[in-house]
Amino acid sequence: MKTFIYTATDVQGNTVKNQRMNAEDVNDFLDKIHEKGLFCSDYREAKGNDKKSLHKFTTKELAYDCRQMSAMMTSGLTLVKTLDIMQKEQQKEANKQIYREIYEDVQKGTSFSDAIKSQDGAFPNFFISMVEAGEASGNLDMVMQKMEYQYTNDAKLTNKVKSAMMYPIILCVLCVAIVIIMFTFIMPTFKDLLTEEDMHGLTGALFAFSDGFKKYWWLILGIVLALIFGIRYALKVPDIRYKFDQAIIKIKPVGPLVVKVYTARFGSTLASLYSSGIPMVECLAKSSAILNNLYITKKFETVIDEVKQGEALSTSIQRTNIFESMFVSIIYVGEESGALDTILTKSAAFYQEESDEAITRLVSLIEPVMIIFMGAAIGTVIAGILPAIYNSMENIA
Q: Tens of pLDDT along 54-95?
A: 678 888 899 999 999 989 988 888 899 999 999 888 888 888
Amino acid at 42: D
Give the chain's mean pLDDT.
82
Residue of higher predicted confidence among 176 and 390: 176
Q: How confident is the model at residue 230 (pLDDT cuts 50, 70, 90)?
A: very high
In this prediction, residue 31 carries a pLDDT of 77
In this predicted structure, the answer to whether residue 142 has a pLDDT above a threshold of 70 is yes
pLDDT above 70 covers a percentage of the chain that reads 91
In this predicted structure, the answer to whether residue 229 has a pLDDT above a threshold of 80 is yes
Element (H, E) at 5: strand 2-9
pTM of the entire predicted model: 0.71
- Tell me the per-residue pLDDT of 86-122, one tens digit each, with 9 for 90 and over: 988 888 888 888 888 888 888 888 888 888 888 777 8
Q: Give one DSSP letter per residue of 193-262, joined into a string.
A: G--GGGSSHHHHHHHHHHHHHHHSHHHHHHHHHHHHHHHHHHTTSHHHHHHHHHHHHHSTTHHHHHHHHH
Q: How confident is the model at residue 53 (pLDDT cuts 50, 70, 90)?
A: very low
Rounded average pLDDT over 277-303: 87
| Sheet hosting strand 15-23, strand order edge to edge | 15-23, 2-9, 39-45
Q: Residue 219 half-sphere exposure, CB side, CA atoms within 13 Å?
A: 5
Backbone torsion region of residue 56, taken as left when φ is above 0, otherwise alpha when ψ lies between -120 and 50, otherwise beta? beta
Q: Give one DSSP letter per residue of 66-124, joined into a string.
A: HHHHHHHHHTT--HHHHHHHHHHH-SSHHHHHHHHHHHHHHHTT--HHHHHHTTTTSS-
Q: How confident is the model at residue 227 (pLDDT cuts 50, 70, 90)?
A: very high
CA nearest 351: which of 237, 267, 286?
267
- Tell me the per-residue pLDDT of 196-217, one tens digit each, with 9 for 90 and over: 666 777 777 888 888 888 888 8
In this predicted structure, the answer to whether residue 30 has a pLDDT above a threshold of 90 is no
Distance (Å, rounded) from C-alpha 385 to C-alpha 198?
A: 9
Sequence spans of domains, the chain: 2-52, 59-123, 140-397
Contacts of residue 390, defined as CB under 8 A and 6 or more positions apart, other chains included, come to none
Distance (Å, rounded) from C-alpha 224 to C-alpha 222?
A: 5
Distance (Å, rounded) from C-alpha 216 to C-alpha 203?
A: 20
In this prediction, residue 52 carries a pLDDT of 43
Rounded average pLDDT over 325-350: 85
Can you state the percent helix, strand and coil of the chain, rounding each to 5? 75, 5, 15
Backbone torsion region of residue 109, taken as left when φ is above 0, otherwise alpha when ψ lies between -120 and 50, otherwise beta? left
In this prediction, residue 251 carries a pLDDT of 85
Distance (Å, rounded) from C-alpha 260 to C-alpha 348?
A: 11
Torsion of CA 314, 319, 323, 329, to 10 degrees: 30
Rounded average pLDDT over 334-363: 81
Phi, psi of 124 (to 5 degrees): -70, 160
Amino acid at 2: K
CA nearest 104: which of 25, 35, 18, 37?
35
- Homologous superfamily, domain 140-397: Type II secretion system (T2SS), domain F (1.20.81.30)
CA nearest 317: which of 339, 301, 336?
301
- On the 0-12 / 13-18 / 19+ scale of CB atoms within 10 A, 199 is middle
Alpha-carbon radius of gyration of the chain? 29
Helix (H, G, I), strand (E, B) or coil at 303: helix
CA nearest 344: which of 261, 291, 267, 290?
267
Residue of higher predicted confidence among 294 and 43: 294
Rounded average pLDDT over 370-374: 79
DSSP symbol at 277: T
Helix (H, G, I), strand (E, B) or coil at 43: strand
